A and B are shown apart, each in its own frame.
Chain A
Amino acid sequence: MTYLLKKSEVNQTLRAWTSKAHVYAPQKVQKYAQFLPVGEDFELSVEEPHNTRFPPKALFLPQSETLLKYNPQKRELESAKTPDQPRIIFGIRPCDAKAVTLLDSVFSSEDNPDPFWQARRDQSVLVGLGCDQPCATCFCTSVESGPFDRSGLDAILTDLGDTYAVEPLTERGVSLFENLTVASAETTQTIQAIQEKATREMPIAFGREGLKAHLDELFENEIWEDFAKSCLGCGICTFLCPTCFCFDIVDEVRKSTRERNWDTCMFKVYSIEASGHNPRPSRRERTRQRLMHKYSYWLDHTGQTGCTGCGRCVRYCPVGLDIRAMVRKSVATPSEVPHVD
């Protein structure tokens, strides 16, 4: 069943939800939208075609998070509490929701599930907003996703001008949108047409067939040298990436806590060992790790590409290193390993 939600009633709906859950929605801080709690006074920022600058992964894996508290005097340890507040995340784009499902394979794995991730996932309802105006940096359909990908979502919205069409996808989604007008058969067809058009018109950035095997063969190729030449090693691509999940664990002496902080494979200290040996001593190895992780190693782990085509790394790289161009260049580079037929 598809419902209709007037845009003029969205703010009111979000405010009503705050009585039963923490509600997060894209709001602007200075120029850039990010997911912030909805309060009494807020201004929604969902009309821009592009995504929030900060990925909503921080709602599930905060940039900094306490794992435990220790008491040096009493020799006691206390686990940090897992969050127990229900949450509704409104306006998440399908690429970012898909990224959360990819990260489930890391943090909700059967062996050693991460209790902090899991608690946040279990407590969250995701209301997605499909994309009918792809931007120049989007490439979701090139990486097994799409502008109306339903992965991870409890409901998906389609922009109909002054109204959103609401398609609840799970029971949780259904429970959020009661008492709305049901869309007519004609409107349902219009919605389908919008979704199909958006998917069709999304430009294909590269072909994925045989990509993993080809990249594996390029491991020792000098192509990485070329990419590394322009890379500054700033790590922006990984911090803003919705699927990058690496973290460091450090003790905060002043707070007597052990914390985890986002980390990045683009930094030299990330992989340096106690002996001084570093398996990734230069940006050649580090840019290779980023690309190979997303387009090869993720496939070994989950059968899916570890990139959802959100385009943030392309849009915000200070030197304009474009992961799509990197992939295309890799594809165009012949591997030196002879093929056995």
Chain B
Amino acid sequence: MWTNPVNPNPYLPTPMRVLHAYYESTDRSLKTLELAFVNQQDRVRFFEKFNPGQFCQLSVFGKGESPLGVASAAWEGDFVRFTVQKMGLVTKALHQLQPGDSLGLRGPLGNGFPLADWKGKNLVIIGGGCAFSTLYALTKHVQHAQNRADFGELIVIYGARSSGLCMYKHDIQSWYQRDDMQVHQAIDVPEEDWSHHVGYVPDVVKQIAPSPVNSVAIVCGPPIMTKFTLPALVGLGFPPETIFTSLEKRMKCGLGKCGRCNIGSKYICKDGPVFSLAELNALPADI
């Protein structure tokens, strides 16, 4: 009687296969998964849209979905990397996956970092804990020879509670040899054989005092770190329009429909997760 246009089901995940799975921290709370696409057209579709700073919903069928930031850059290969902190039902199941196992992925979701607006700027990347994963994707993106000239200086400040919780160790170690970037790693309390900073990220930021001139700062970390780092950057002279952070909320659909991740009239899944401090200041304090 009336026509029924067929729309794709946005809740249907893309089938994925685990390529590599390995622990990222000595306490085994963090595990990195590198996932390959089962269908090549899904891979093409994913990388057409992908931008560092975006996230995906990973599915373990029978357990549910969990939103996780992408920790790889497109040029690294035909895979997508995630670092998963074991927290609940789904992340526990994700930790049990072995190479060859199948799972589902929806994404990329969210806005990602506004890279086009950052062209020609110095980047000050500040991360703490496992939230560094999307900043790792950003750093990898910027490091690529084809992208590096788009940006000015690159400074990475990365803090973790202890050296055992530092992620992507071997790769980050190699960054110290690069002449196109500065790396500052910090842990909260002193340890033997630790030759980098000791202290909390906001203090390390104040100590390094990156210049706000022609710069943007990108901050991702636990709420307590973000809370104190944002004012530290403002104190260094960074205008709120040049400070960016990525927010977390409980999410289900990732498409701005299920309703739960709003701050005021913005949905973190759809309008974010990346916001400038200027944008955040205009929103109600519902964080």
Contact = CB atoms under 8 A, between A and B. Distances in A.
A289 interface: yes
A322 interface: no
Contact of A21 (B1, B259, B286): B1
Contacts, number: 136
B213 to A, nearest CB: 32
B77 interface: no
Interface stretch (B140-148, B149-157, B181-189, B247-255): B247-255
A113 B264 CA distance: 22
Contact of B9 (A79, A250, A277): A79
Given A273-B249, A273-B250, A106 B12 contact: no
B265 A301 contact: yes
A122 B5 contact: yes
A67 B12 contact: yes
A265 B252 contact: no
A123 B6 CA distance: 12
Nearest to B109: A112
A225 interface: no
B4 A273 contact: no
A82 interface: yes
B260 to A, nearest CB: 6
Interface stretch (A51-59, A186-194, A251-259, A307-315): A251-259
A72 B253 CA distance: 22
Contact of B15 (A20, A75, A275): A75
B223 A84 contact: no
Contact of B62 (A21, A113, A253, A271): A253
Interface stretch (A33-41, A128-136, A240-248): A240-248
Nearest to A270: B260
A145 interface: no
A320 interface: no
A251 B61 contact: yes
A246 B259 contact: yes
Given A67-B9, A247-B257, A258-B11, 20 more contacts: A21-B1, A70-B62, A84-B4, A112-B257, A115-B7, A118-B5, A220-B285, A245-B259, A249-B11, A249-B253, A251-B61, A251-B62, A256-B62, A263-B260, A271-B250, A272-B250, A274-B250, A292-B264, A297-B265, A300-B264
24 contacts: A67-B12, A68-B12, A80-B9, A112-B255, A112-B256, A113-B7, A115-B7, A118-B7, A119-B4, A122-B4, A247-B253, A247-B258, A249-B252, A251-B62, A263-B260, A273-B249, A274-B91, A275-B222, A277-B223, A279-B263, A279-B286, A296-B264, A296-B265, A297-B264
Interface of B: 1-13, 15, 61-66, 85, 87-88, 91, 102, 104, 222-223, 248-250, 252-253, 255-260, 262-265, 270, 284-287
A113 to B, nearest CB: 5
B2 A219 contact: no
Interface string A280-302: 10000100010011001100110
Given A107-B257, A273-B250, A68 B286 contact: no
B27 to A, nearest CB: 17
Contacts of B6: 82, 115
The 7 closest A-B pairs by CB, nearest first: A246-B259, A300-B265, A115-B7, A86-B1, A297-B265, A70-B61, A79-B9
Contacts of A245: 257, 259
Contact of A251 (B63, B222, B262): B63
Nearest to A269: B250
A43 interface: no
A172 B1 CA distance: 10
A177 to B, nearest CB: 16
Interface in A71-108: 72, 75, 77, 79-80, 82, 84, 86, 106-107
A188 B264 CA distance: 46
A216 B255 CA distance: 25
Contacts of A196: none
Given A273-B249, A296-B265, A265 B61 contact: no
A89 B251 CA distance: 33
A79 B252 contact: no
B207 to A, nearest CB: 27
A114 interface: yes
A77 B270 CA distance: 25
A289 B260 CA distance: 10
Of A115, A119, A122, chain B has the most CB atoms within 10 Å of the CB of A115
Contacts of B5: 118-119, 122
Contacts of A118: 5, 7
B249 A271 contact: yes
Contacts of B284: 216, 219, 292
B217 to A, nearest CB: 23
A34 to B, nearest CB: 24
A81 to B, nearest CB: 10
Which interface residue of A114, A263, A279 has the most chain B CB atoms within 10 A? A279
Interface string A148-183: 000000000000000000000000100000000000
Contacts of A107: 257
Contacts of B249: 271, 273, 279
A112 B10 contact: yes
Contacts of B87: 274-275
Given A21-B1, A123-B2, A285-B286, A248 B258 contact: yes
Nearest to B102: A75
Nearest to B9: A79
A107 B11 CA distance: 13
Interface string A206-250: 000000000010011000000000000000000000000111111
